Amino acid sequence: MRTAGRIEGIVFDKDGTLFDFHTTWNVWTSDLIQSLAKAHGVAPDQIAAAVQFDLVSRAFHPDSPIIAATNREGAEAIASALPGVSVDVIEEEMMLSAAHAPLAPAVDLAPFLDGLRATGLKLGVMTNDSEYGARAHLTSAGVLERFDFVAGFDSGFGGKPAPEPLLAFAHSVGLDPEVCVMVGDSTHDLMAGRAARMSTVGVLTGVAPRAVLEPYADVVLPDIGHIPQWLEG
């Protein structure tokens, strides 16, 4: 296990990292599929198959292509099951409805983030969701102002697994990427961190199991609440 070394900045993924993926997104996805199916006169199973979502258990299949996808990529996957429906229309509906998804923080976020900030760490969020969605969720959780940087796939830096949005975080807070860490629940997060020359921490509050994350992570933790201990390590 690699220890933290000198870390001065942490950039977090949002879904599956700051917020538990299953509790937050399974209910929302089920409701979205039913709503789109009714609106466009197709069977819900048709949409569910396109995104590899099980309507009975209300859960994503582990290899669903949209788990770590950008909002746009998710809209494109859904559009494949809705011939004639604009991807732009679906993307906007996803963005607006996702802002009201039922949030389930992975830990009590306010004291957790305050503890990190008290040590002088710079904090950021980079999500493949939209920036609108990210800011809405962080505001709802009462923690938006605790972050020095918030970006989505549409913020002008691109999306993960490309390193550019993580490099934008480092530049924004005036740090070398090598003293920063990327924390996420997917290989997209960790691959982006490695490409940006950051340390990488995987967490198990998303869909990916430990065995999938370990090849890309310096350490895999149960959830973000274990990060302070790792930093002291």
Residue 176 tokens, joined? 């070398």
Read off the pLDDT band of 131 (50, 70, 90): very high
Read off the pLDDT band of 4 (50, 70, 90): low
Query: Residue 70's pLDDT is what?
Result: 85
**pLDDT at residue 2 above 60?**
no
- Over residues 144-169, mean pLDDT: 97
- Over residues 17-32, mean pLDDT: 90
For the chain, give every residue range classified as CATH 3.40.50.1000. 9-20+105-232
- Over residues 121-142, mean pLDDT: 95
User: Which comes out higher in pLDDT, residue 100 or 197?
Assistant: 197
Sign, CA dihedral 133-29-203-201, equals negative
User: Which comes out higher in pLDDT, residue 71 or 146?
Assistant: 146
- Over residues 102-126, mean pLDDT: 96
Query: Residue 103's pLDDT is what?
Result: 87
Q: What is the pLDDT of residues 181-199, one digit of tens each?
A: 999 999 999 999 999 999 9
Instruction: For 108-143, give the secondary structure using H, E and C.
Output: CHHHHHHHHHHCCCEEEEECCCCHHHHHHHHHHCCC
Residues of the chain above pLDDT 90, percent = 83
Helices (H) and strands (E) in the chain, counts: 11, 8
**pLDDT at residue 95 above 90?**
no
**pLDDT at residue 109 above 70?**
yes
Query: Residue 1's pLDDT is what?
Result: 45
Query: Residue 102's pLDDT is what?
Result: 81
- According to DSSP, the β-strands at 53-54 and 59-60 are antiparallel
**pLDDT at residue 92 above 60?**
yes
- Cite the DSSP H helix spans in 41-70: 44-51
**pLDDT at residue 153 above 70?**
yes
Query: What are residue 9's DSSP bridge partners?
Result: 122, 180
CATH topology of domain 9-20+105-232: Rossmann fold (3.40.50)
Average pLDDT, whole number, for the chain? 94
Q: What is the pLDDT of residues 37-60, one digit of tens each?
A: 999 999 999 999 999 999 999 999
Query: Residue 100's pLDDT is what?
Result: 82
